[in-house]
């Protein structure tokens, strides 16, 4: 068993003993090929939750500061994370993400760029739209519906892939593509909050 699979197992154990985790729509994740999971961001546990209950390895951006800590510096890359400098256009992080997608890997993105302080869905940054338009990745909207309270039901919904063919043909902007992604995430939140 590799370090990533071990990390998945630990994440599942911690999450499943702390919360009543409900996973919906796993069948919407392609079994192979470039894939973007785009999710809202409400808690520090969102990244491990997003990848803990699925078979494929998830790669994701993590803030540069985490890679400056001695233990995490060596561990995070083995868990699929790569650094990103927040608040600026980080060309190295963009190159790394593009390379992973060209290799047919799966990346988890939180388009808001930071955690929501009030649990409400914020505005998405253009990065998610950029990757959606500039690659052939399948884009899967995801929604985490909390709150993260002990023994509370925590829902993770993987939605149906978003069709970007029209926007790619129209040469739409990254901002327009991100707006579409965020609207699909909002639909998932609204739909599954009602049935909570």
Question: Helix 91-102 vs helix 126-134: angle between axes, to the nearest 10 degrees?
Answer: 40
Q: How many domains are there within the chain?
A: 1
**What is the pLDDT at residue 128?**
93
> With a cut of 70, which residues of the chain have pLDDT below it?
1, 87-89, 194-196
> Does residue 147 have a cis peptide bond before it, meaning omega lies within 30 degrees of 0?
yes
**What is the pLDDT at residue 165?**
86
CATH number at residue 132: 3.40.1130.10
pTM of the entire predicted model: 0.92
Domain that holds residue 34: 3-194
**What is the pLDDT at residue 38?**
98
CA distance 96 to 62: 12
**What is the pLDDT at residue 166?**
86
Q: Give the up-direction half-sphere exposure of residue 60: CA atoms within 13 A in the CB hemisphere.
A: 24
**What is the pLDDT at residue 63?**
83
**What is the pLDDT at residue 196?**
46
């Amino acid at each position: 068993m590799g370090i990533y699979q071990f990390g998945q197992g630990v994440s599942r154990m911690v999450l499943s003993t702390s919360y009543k985790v409900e996973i919906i729509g796993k069948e919407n994740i392609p079994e192979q090929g470039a894939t973007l999971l785009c999710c809202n961001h409400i808690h520090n546990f969102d990244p491990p939750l997003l990848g803990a209950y699925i078979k494929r390895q998830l790669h994701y951006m993590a803030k540069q500061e985490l890679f400056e800590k001695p233990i995490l510096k060596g561990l995070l890359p083995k868990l699929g994370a790569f650094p990103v400098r927040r608040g600026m256009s980080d060309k190295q992080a963009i190159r790394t993400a593009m390379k992973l997608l060209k290799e047919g890997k799966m990346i988890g993105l939180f388009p808001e760029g930071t955690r929501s302080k009030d649990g409400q869905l914020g505005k998405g940054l253009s990065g998610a739209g950029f990757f959606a338009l500039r690659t052939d990745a399948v884009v899967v909207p995801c929604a985490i519906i909390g709150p993260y309270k002990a023994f509370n039901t925590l829902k993770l919904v993987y939605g149906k892939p978003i069709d970007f063919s029209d926007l790619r043909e129209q040469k739409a902007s990254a901002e327009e593509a991100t707006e579409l992604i965020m609207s699909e995430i909002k639909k998932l939140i609204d739909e599954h909050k009602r049935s909570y």
